[in-house]
Structure 1
């Protein structure tokens, strides 16, 4: 059976498919069908505090992993992702990585700021929140970027992924919400950053540790995705407003972050625009950001920096934002490659081959120049 290959045919499949499976099982749980509950009771499952019997609340390792394990698994993912942030990147790759990360972040922040100004920042148009917009627009799909730039881009485009790894996880979203007025204490930032920072230090001190932890960039994803889905209702994905919100975020991400990246590259005299368009996507792991932000809000409420009502507000929109971002992941996974192909064809018509570095010349161009000189 080719289960993994089938899942990977779905855009962002390792994140989206387990997420929806968890949501489906949780939906069945919440329906409290008598036949299923009688079967669980027969097996000896303990009642929930509400007096029901549920698949995902049977206790033991199963409940700890499949129902309650999201935050621990996300923390593990962040630790491993941090270990892959290579501080020893080439000058051109470093420059491109900084330009892409900065332009993508500022674009997401600006759109989130404008949205919060014109609409309710927690429950605005289509049920969108500033948190969902920033989380989706600032976190690019590193795997898709690497694949697209390896085919259509050049060496420094691919190398920029080392810097782009910085936008993995909830830190940029947390920082943005702080800039927009949310009162997160310093400890909330430390609590989010610490796993990433420790992983980054260890990965740069010892290449063997980096190699050992590399699998952790992928391995926890379907597990925390399932656990996140286990807190959702499958009906969320069929809510027209949620679908509209996810499509809106996805289109804005591909169009606006792509255009902003192109303008920044043009400002810094880069000829090929493959890299900024390849980064105009939403990463599957961005769907984990709302849960992490809700956890940070709980820390803020515990320290007295944020009221319990404010913290509860972030917790209340986490499930909805997760569904919206998941749809945005699917949307950008379709739009982003199409945009890259379009830009590549446009550039080639103008004599620009994105697979060559700026200082290199396409051999075909060199040959034409030699023939011209001979004449």
Structure 2
């Protein structure tokens, strides 16, 4: 039936489609329709604390996997991601990875700082929170980066992914929120980041462990995405603030990340800008970051380092931030390939082949321009 191929045609499909499916089922659950209530009651389902019957809360393995598993599966996902963070990379790839990671991260927190200064950091302009901005802008789609640089870039572009992968997950977001004034004690960082650290150590100590855990990067995504969706109400997606906020976040991510990436590449004498445009996206797994931040906030609140009001404020924005990040994921997944195609055409007209380490095409500038004119006419 080609179910997987169909899902993957959707930008960020393995994350977005299960998330939307879970959100759809949970939305129906929250309507408490008499028809479903009667069926569940007749089947012997236990009522919720509010006295309703919900098919995502029937207990057993079903509820544990489809409703309550998000944090456990995200932790497993982070463990597997950490195992793939290979720090043994070539010099040029290392340079590009550092430039891309640094520019993307600094751009994200700069926008977050600015937003928090001028607007409400919890629910400001277009319903955006500082959490949604930083999580969405500092996490890039590694799969898309690998695909785009693999086709339009050179080996050192692709190799930069080894460093760029550091921005996967909640680590940089937690650091940025700490800088922005949200109190996270050291134990909260340890509690959330320990799976990444252990995975990274094991993956670098033993290549066989890295290879064994590699499938976990993708296998866990649809499962925790569904569980995240099962905690969301689709009415949030029809909230104009959520839709507008998600689109604004996508535009900010593409323009700021891509623009700063191109700028630092120019400063460090790089001539091809395939890699900066390739990383100007929001990762599909970034939608899990608000939940991870909320988990860290729970640790902070239990230790007394965060007030109950601060914790509740963070908890309240998780569903909206998750929805906005999902919208940004879809939008940037369309913008980045288009941007890479355009920048590749522009560079080739100028005699630069992004797939070559020496970057220079075999023909002259004029011949290159004539070739592209003929190709366009055909």
TM bucket normalised to smaller:
over 0.9
TM-score by length of 1: 0.96
The count of residues paired between Structure 1 and Structure 2 equals: 366
Within 2, Cα distance between the matches of 1:161 and 1:43?
A: 51
What are the residue-to-residue correspondences of 1:44-123 with 2, within 5 Å? 44-123=44-123
1:42 to partner: Cα distance? 1.1
What are the residue-to-residue correspondences of 1:142-291 with 2, within 5 Å? 142-291=142-291
1:234 to partner: Cα distance? 1.1
Q: CA RMSD in A?
A: 1.2
1:218 to partner: Cα distance? 0.3
> What residue ranges of structure 1 are gaps of 5+ in the alignment?
369-375
1:65-104, Cα deviation, whole Å (9 max, x unpaired): 1111000000000000010111111110011001100000
Within 1, Cα distance between the matches of 2:124 and 2:7?
A: 33
Counterpart residue number, 2:373: none
Contact residue 351 and residue 363 of structure 2 kept, 8 A: no
Contact residue 66 and residue 230 of structure 2 kept, 8 A: yes
1:238 match: secondary structure: coil
Contact residue 66 and residue 226 of structure 2 kept, 8 A: yes
Deviates more, 1:340-349 or 1:218-227: 340-349
Contact residue 138 and residue 172 of structure 2 kept, 8 A: yes
Contact residue 192 and residue 295 of structure 2 kept, 8 A: no
Q: List structure 1 segments (4+ residues) > 2 angstroms apart after TM superposition.
A: 360-366
Counterpart residue number, 1:10: 10
Within 2, Cα distance between the matches of 1:9 and 1:236?
A: 24
> What residue ranges of structure 2 are gaps of 5+ in the alignment?
368-378
Within 2, Cα distance between the matches of 1:128 and 1:350?
A: 40
1:4-62, Cα deviation, whole Å (9 max, x unpaired): 11100100000000000000000110000011111011111101110010010000111
Within 1, Cα distance between the matches of 2:47 and 2:35?
A: 15
2:215 match: secondary structure: helix
1:362 to partner: Cα distance? 3.6
1:239 to partner: Cα distance? 1.5
1:282-330, Cα deviation, whole Å (9 max, x unpaired): 0000000111111111100111111111011100100110000000000
